[in-house]
């Protein structure tokens, strides 16, 4: 019987057109992911040579004055990417994966972004997670909205009722046929993506597939509930499309608006203002007061003493730069805290919005979410601190470029230490929705069949 159902369904225009269109979009999404990986790898491969050239070129002009040389030099930190990031690009196209950091004030440097096409940011990326979250539910709706009503509208339901031992088993068989086809389609796309994107099999790659499968199962459960109400095809299609619009488009937008209004982040502006003022105002202050604050932070440098009030000193200049960051530290920490609060609140709300929950799960698996970028910025702070502390003694003792082993300054690569996948936390919200809608279907079937 199942073989006959497969053949019968595959002959329909809806099946062929739907599978063909989603297959095409899926392959396009894989190509998009491959292009994204190529761009990331190109940038990562170029930074080594560029940093060496950058250092050599500046040494030629400022080798006798290390303080002036380090005013110009930038040191590179790279946020490494997992091939899974091509399946769910997330915020990787918006947040920079490479930081070029000077040993001057840091806050203004952390948020320098890459040059990107703003139109591309407006429309987003057609990655595989987009196809799974937005397109697959539409295909499920197209395949299932008239699962029973079509039989009634064509007058064949009575024949089916007589010939079939169980009407429920017949409907479940038709539903299973469609589920198997879509799972096979998703599996094929994932297999192609694994080959093209060189994704190694492990817990995270398996988790991506499982989350996609459970998300598809959720939409089948929702569709089966609507089918069990025994309404006309037009009604089923309208209600299912309304659910798609509400769960996939409207609810995430509403949640984002609520969170943005509930947790505003004015510190995004005040941090920059405090950092700039904290540095620039020091030009009009006495140097001793500046140096005392600097030595409070780094008492190990107090042996370098206090520069004269008249004239310029690199010791005083870099102390001013550091104090610019110090005076904006409270706002910077507050901004990070609020962003983390936004992320945590989003996860709580997402438990009730399957599309949003699935997208966050995909981003976590791929390492392309907000948490990854915050961890990268935190590592940038550490990188900046370590670099400054290495150069400060050489600058303060009036060293030259010859006093530095420049070969050790190669790009540093940051790899976010992602813990193992939280299976329960990511699957329970979706599974709860599946059980809920299948439960409603059972009640409807008991009353209507």
| pLDDT tens per residue, range 221-246 | 999 999 988 888 899 999 999 999 99
pLDDT at 303 over 80: yes
164 pLDDT band (50/70/90 cuts)? low
pLDDT at 77 over 80: yes
Q: Dump pLDDT digits (tens) for 370-415.
A: 888 899 999 999 999 999 999 999 999 988 888 888 888 888 998 8
272 pLDDT band (50/70/90 cuts)? confident
Please compute, for residue 331, the number of CA atoms within 13 A of its CA located in the half-sphere on the CB side: 19
Instruction: For residue 414, list its beta bridge partners.
Output: 79
Closest by CA to 395, choosing from 320, 333, 318, is 318
In this structure, of 15-29, 84-98, 356-370, the range with the lowest mean pLDDT score is 84-98
- Read off the pTM: 0.89
398 Ramachandran zone, left/alpha/beta (phi>0; psi -120 to 50)? left
How many Å apart are CA 42 and CA 19, to the nearest integer? 34
Q: What is the pLDDT of residue 158?
A: 63
Tell me what the mean pLDDT of segment 313-325 comes to: 90
Q: Whose structure tokens read 């459960």?
A: 221
Contact 179, 5 (CB under 8 A): no
Average of per-residue pLDDT values in the chain = 87
pLDDT at 280 over 80: no
Q: What is the pLDDT of residue 278?
A: 76
Q: Dump pLDDT digits (tens) for 97-143.
A: 888 899 998 887 887 655 555 555 555 678 999 999 999 999 999 99
Tell me what the mean pLDDT of segment 170-187 comes to: 92
How many Å apart are CA 440 and CA 435, to the nearest integer? 9
Q: What is the pLDDT of residue 308?
A: 86
CA angle 387, 393, 394 (to 5 degrees): 85
pLDDT at 157 over 70: no
Q: What is the pLDDT of residue 1?
A: 62
Highest mean pLDDT among 104-108, 135-139, 295-299, 326-330: 135-139
In this structure, of 165-169, 328-332, 406-410, the range with the lowest mean pLDDT score is 165-169
Q: Quote the radius of gyration of the chain (alpha carbons, Å).
A: 29
Q: What is the pLDDT of residue 154?
A: 66
Q: What is the pLDDT of residue 393?
A: 92
Q: What is the pLDDT of residue 265?
A: 83
Q: What is the pLDDT of residue 437?
A: 95
pLDDT at 167 over 80: no
Question: How far does Cα 68 stand from its chain's mean position?
Answer: 39
Q: What is the pLDDT of residue 222?
A: 96
């Amino acid at each position: 019987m199942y073989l006959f159902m497969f053949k019968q369904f595959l002959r329909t225009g809806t099946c062929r057109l739907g599978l063909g269109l989603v297959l095409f979009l899926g392959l396009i999404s894989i190509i998009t992911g491959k292009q994204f990986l190529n761009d990331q790898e190109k940038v990562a491969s170029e930074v080594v040579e560029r940093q060496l050239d950058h250092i050599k070129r500046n040494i030629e002009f400022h080798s006798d004055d290390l303080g002036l040389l380090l005013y110009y030099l930038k040191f590179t930190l790279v946020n490494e990417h997992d091939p899974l990031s091509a399946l769910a690009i997330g915020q990787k196209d918006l947040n920079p994966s490479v930081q070029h950091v000077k040993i001057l004030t840091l806050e203004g440097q952390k948020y320098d972004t890459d040059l990107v096409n703003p139109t591309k940011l407006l429309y987003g990326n057609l990655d595989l997670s987009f196809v799974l979250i937005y397109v697959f539910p539409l295909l499920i709706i197209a395949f299932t909205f008239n699962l029973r009503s079509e039989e009634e509208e064509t007058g064949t339901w009575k024949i089916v009722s007589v010939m079939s031992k169980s009407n429920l088993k017949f409907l479940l068989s038709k539903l299973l046929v469609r589920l198997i086809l879509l799972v096979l389609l998703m599996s094929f796309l994932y297999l192609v993506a694994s080959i093209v994107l060189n994704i190694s099999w492990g817990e995270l790659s398996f988790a991506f597939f499982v989350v996609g499968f459970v998300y598809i199962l959720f939409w089948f459960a929702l569709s089966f509930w609507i089918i069990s109400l025994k309404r006309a095809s037009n009604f089923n299609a309208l209600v299912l499309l309304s659910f798609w619009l509400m769960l996939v488009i409207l609810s995430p937008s509403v949640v984002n608006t609520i969170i943005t209004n509930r947790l505003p982040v004015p510190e995004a502006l005040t941090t920059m203002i405090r950092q700039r003022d904290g540095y620039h105002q020091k030009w009009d202050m006495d140097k001793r007061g500046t140096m005392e604050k600097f030595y409070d932070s780094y008492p190990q440098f107090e042996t370098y003493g206090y520069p004269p009030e008249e004239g310029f000193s690199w010791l005083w200049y870099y102390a001013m730069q550091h104090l610019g960051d110090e005076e904006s530290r409270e706002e910077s920490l507050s901004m990070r805290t609020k962003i983390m609060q936004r992320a945590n609140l989003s996860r709580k709300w997402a438990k009730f919005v399957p599309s949003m929950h699935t997208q966050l799960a995909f981003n976590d698996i791929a390492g392309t979410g907000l948490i990854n970028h915050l961890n990268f910025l935190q590592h940038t702070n550490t990188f900046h601190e370590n670099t400054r502390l290495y150069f400060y003694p050489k600058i303060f003792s009036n060293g030259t470029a010859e006093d530095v082993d420049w070969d050790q300054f190669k790009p540093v690569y940051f790899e976010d230490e992602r813990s193992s996948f939280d299976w329960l936390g990511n699957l329970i919200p979706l599974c709860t929705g599946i059980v809920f809608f299948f439960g409603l279907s059972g009640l409807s079937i008991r009353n209507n069949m």
